Amino acid sequence: MAPHETQLRVRYAETDQMGVVYHANYLVWMEVGRVEFFRAAGLRYRDFETNAGLHLAVAEAQARYLAPARYDDPVIVRTSMGKARPRMVTLEYEIRHGETSAPLATGFTKHVFLAAGTMRPAKLPLEYYSLFGLE
């Protein structure tokens, strides 16, 4: 899967008393990037849940903050596929300032496939392997 870039603009509600983006919002932006990454590849997450009967549960999330973003800054979230296995997938993120390209943060999320009915770990169906870069 090719990396995908999602453009955002910092909203006032996303900033803290210091006037910079509150750290937890970077995880929200990663989620936005992830959903748009899959959408760009032709997979709507909502349809994946229904058709595959699976959820992608976040098992681990990491963010490294490099520089502050401020209210009304344009932001680009670049999402790419990391390691993929039949039961787990890792997505990687680069968050940059939309005008200067200055790096703001990097990170990753690891997801476990869960069966929708039982919420127990499950294996990705074969028809989705190519989408996730599996053979």
CA-based nearest residue to 123, from 84, 91, 92: 84
> Residue 104: CB partners within 8 Å, gap ≥ 6?
26, 65, 66, 67, 68, 69, 75, 95, 96, 97
> Residue 6: CB partners within 8 Å, gap ≥ 6?
32, 33, 36, 37, 76, 77, 79
Q: Which residues are catalytic?
A: 16
